Amino acid sequence: MQTERGASKGTGQGNALRARLLAGAAAIACAPWLAGQAAAQTAPAQATPAAAAADSNAPGPDGLPPKAVYIQAEHATRTGDVITASSTVERVFARFQGHTLRAGEVTYDTARGVGGADRQVELTSPAGDVVYASHLELDSDLRAGVVVDLATRLSNGSSLMAATAVRRSENVSELNYALFTPCAICDAEGNAKTPSIAVKAEKVVQDEELRAILFRNATFVVGGVPLFWLPVFAVPDPTVERASGLLVPIINYDEGRGLSVEMPYLHVVSPSEDWIVSPQINTKVAPFVNLQWRRRFAGGTIVARGGYTYERNFGDFDLDGDGSTESNVEFGDRTSRSYILAYGAFDPAGPWRWGFTAERTSDKNLFDRYDVRDPYQDNGLYYGDQRRLISQVYAERQTERSYLSIAAFSIQSLRLDQAYADTDFRDPDGYKAFENDKTLPLVAPLIDGRWEPADPILGGRLRLKLSAVSLSRNAYVGAPVLRPEVIPAGSTDGFGGVDSRRITLQGEWRRAFTTASGVRIEPFIDGRFDAYSVSDLPPMPGSDSENIITRGRATAGVDVSYPMIKRLSATSDLIIEPMAQLSISNKANLDPRIPIEDTQTFELDESSLFRTDRLPGYDFYEGGSRFTAGARATLRWDDIRKASLFIGRSMRSYEEDAFLTTIPDDTSKLYDPSGLASQTSDWVVQASVSPTDRFRAWGHATIDGSGDIRRAEAAVDGTWGRRNVATVSYIVDRSNPLSGDNNRNYEFIQLQGQQFVYGNWGVAVTGIADLERDLITRSEVGLLFDDDCFRFELGFRQDNTRVRPSGPSEGVYVRLNLATFGGTGYGRNSNR
């Protein structure tokens, strides 16, 4: 291998310096045990191994005791105090402490305590890292040593080279004329190639006492072209897990903020605590400062993020009232704007654990305008849904047979108000209209518990459940919380928010039998009791201000399935599993005074079709006699290939009009979003296929009795070549029958992929099309270069998402990702 003078290590490869400088030393450090133990062989063709053990400890992974060396050589001689092992046909081979060493010659001076290796030196560590050198030497106590023409390849594919490497003392190591690259330095044919990215330095010094690595005259090279030079810079020593210093900067461009540069700085307080201060400097608006504090305790963790600025609002706004919005204008007064995103999780010894989240922002569109990264995260016991923040406290207790949780939370919504959907979500003054937080409930407390006895009951499994919740609102909400029967026909001005309390007790028993022919029979019994207290309902005949409602349900039934398998060949089989459920319950008591709090969204699918409680939550449930049938067919072949299809449907003894809900834009009309209101449910169809390990497709649909698709979702993804990938997904909802712009139905198709055209050059595309509105809502088209250690993208992006609070956005994006060094670039905020 050819060595090259130039460069050093990159971020995240700190271990490379210390490990490589000591790698050659490790071989010679074992030479004291080698001296006097290696046996000389006079017949080169009949080289005989020699091994010695310094003590009688148990052998290591390589079969040698801890202080033992195995050496194989053609010749071994001693001249005075110098012992020499050499080979001419094959290199000397040595094994010790998990390392292997190959060299043309290995020497050890017993008087000076210095060992060396010459001619095609190759040392492999237990981790698989390989060091090459023309010469290395080190004293026996590892205090000083030299490596000449160092070249090392790490187990992750990175390479480090230096003209010389010197360990000057126990704490200081030095590389001269060093080069580090995480990229391949040889092509597929083994020929030398210019690495895509590298760092060259005249000198690299590691001071273990200072716990730092210092670079002098460092040049950062991309594609063989020097990009920038630094006379001096430093990174933490590899023994330091975290150290204070600047992190990778984030550079972005936004029409509202202009050019934006964010420079994070990490301040380490202790091994268990740190701060990140990340000021965002913008050319068009005032700076925005982001902070993050992390602290780990013996039994838990707290992470708190926050941000602050003093600035006017900006975004799309109709300044002149002509109905057209001007793009990215400033309006309003300067004021303080901030956010906090914090959570804590504590898991001490024992069955209890607890935690909290605190999520709030001063502006509904603050995250969008300042491109705050990952604001919607799933922390805590309960998660806020898309564009909603949740603040909560909770405690859990879990044992092998029981579970109990107690929680309280409130929600802040950053959603646009659907009542203004036909006016681009703008109120009469031209401002973006957001969902009113006062219409969202304060939940305190929410209790959930389960318990199972250790022993079978009547040969089956018994499970007891407890659920209780209290919800209160500060503002009136009609549909979909209130049912059509209790929504007043006239004005609702002055009405308060409806408050409700509920407690539910439930018990379920199941037992499974399998007949000799393979039929699985599972009888079950389920009993449930609900008690509600509802207050502040709109005035209605026969209703009090405080309503106490009780109800109960008893269900008995049986699940039957008969999985059948047929072997088609030595590598393929077909599984067909028909299944059915028959259940009988008393008629459901769906009192219209009970608010719909936990069953507002529901989608019928394979996993819910055969449940006793197919509707989520407790507000709705089914009664009467039900018969559900379905079948699943699965074809498997060649271990990795698979295709499956499920079709099922349910029938009930009577229709359930209570499952109908009002159309949001026309409360005089009702529709069935669940597909369960009729005596026969929607058909449920699900399918998936993976004909190869490079192609996968799946789909799900609910189809009503007339054969029309109510909802459907499908996706196809595949790879071809080495790095070409594409994913296409489709989703449609046709459940709302109201025609026109207010039908609330939707239909989207999304494409994402990359195709390499020439070598490492290619194109990347991303797009989301709203087929209902005939609009491209989000798109990106870019040119990319990617050689597996250096990825660069340059392209154009456009965001016309209708509900984007700060308005449409477009511009050029740049993404740069360097293996080992990290990356930066434009990225969208994630949604839950």
Confidence class of residue 323 from pLDDT cuts 50, 70 and 90?
low
pLDDT average, residue stretch 431-450? 91
Confidence class of residue 278 from pLDDT cuts 50, 70 and 90?
very high
Per-residue pLDDT at 55 exceeds 80: no
With 0-12 / 13-18 / 19 or more C-beta atoms within 10 angstroms meaning exposed / middle / buried, residue 115 is buried
DSSP-derived pairing of the beta strands 68-72 and 92-96: antiparallel
Q: What is the mean pLDDT of the chain?
A: 81
Reported as half-sphere exposure (CB side, CA atoms, 13 A), residue 384 has a value of: 25
Q: Of 120, 243, 235, give the one whose Cα is nearest residue 180.
A: 235
- What is the residue-wise DSSP string for 235-248? EE-TT-S---EE--
Instruction: Give CB contacts under 8 A, 24+ apart, made by 70-74.
Output: 70/94, 70/95, 70/96, 71/34, 71/37, 71/38, 71/95, 71/106, 72/47, 72/48, 73/38, 73/41, 73/47, 73/106, 74/41, 74/44, 74/47
Per-residue pLDDT at 349 exceeds 80: yes
Total residues found in the chain within this entry: 832
The Cα–Cα gap between 328 and 365 comes to 13
pLDDT at res. 78: 83
Per-residue pLDDT at 325 exceeds 90: no
- Look-up: residue for tokens 């009467």? 624
Collect all residues with Cβ–Cβ distance below 8 Å to 83 and sequence separation of at least 6: 31, 34, 35, 36, 38, 76, 77, 107, 108, 110
The Cα–Cα gap between 44 and 577 comes to 70
Q: Which residue has the higher pLDDT, 754 or 142?
A: 754
Confidence class of residue 775 from pLDDT cuts 50, 70 and 90?
confident
The Cα–Cα gap between 276 and 245 comes to 10
Q: What percent of the chain has pLDDT over 70?
A: 81
Per-residue pLDDT at 320 exceeds 60: no
Q: Which two tokens stand for residue 98?
A: 């998990």
pLDDT average, residue stretch 198-209? 83
Q: Give the chain's radius of gyration (CA, Å).
A: 35
Per-residue pLDDT at 144 exceeds 70: no
User: What is the torsion angle, in degrees rounded to the nearest 10, for the CA atoms of residue 748, residue 751, residue 752 and residue 757?
Assistant: -170
The Cα–Cα gap between 320 and 430 comes to 10
CA angle 788, 790, 792 (to 5 degrees): 115
The Cα–Cα gap between 555 and 586 comes to 7
Name 331's bridge partners.
Answer: 313
* CA–CA distances in Å: residue 366 to residues 98, 308, 371, 419: 56, 10, 8, 22
Collect all residues with Cβ–Cβ distance below 8 Å to 648 and sequence separation of at least 6: 579, 606, 609, 610, 628, 629, 630, 631, 683, 684
The Cα–Cα gap between 275 and 288 comes to 17
pTM equals: 0.75
Collect all residues with Cβ–Cβ distance below 8 Å to 362 and sequence separation of at least 6: 336, 337, 338, 339
The Cα–Cα gap between 779 and 752 comes to 10
Q: What percent of the chain has pLDDT over 90?
A: 40
pLDDT at res. 827: 43
The Cα–Cα gap between 235 and 211 comes to 9
Q: Answer whether 363's CB lies under 8 Å from 313's CB.
A: yes
pLDDT at res. 818: 64
Q: Answer whether 720's CB lies under 8 Å from 695's CB.
A: no
Domain parsing of the chain, residue ranges: 14-240, 694-804
pLDDT at res. 81: 80
Confidence class of residue 805 from pLDDT cuts 50, 70 and 90?
low
Per-residue pLDDT at 633 exceeds 70: yes
Confidence class of residue 20 from pLDDT cuts 50, 70 and 90?
very low
- What is the residue-wise DSSP string for 163-203? EEEEE-SSSEEEEEEEEEESS-SB-TTS-B---SEEEEEEE
pLDDT average, residue stretch 702-726? 91
Confidence class of residue 820 from pLDDT cuts 50, 70 and 90?
low
The Cα–Cα gap between 471 and 600 comes to 15
The Cα–Cα gap between 247 and 237 comes to 15
CATH for 14-240?
2.60.450.10
Q: Answer whether 377's CB lies under 8 Å from 384's CB.
A: no
Q: Give the tens place of pLDDT for each residue, 82-121.
A: 888 888 778 888 776 677 888 988 887 777 767 788 888 8
Q: Answer whether 581's CB lies under 8 Å from 608's CB.
A: no
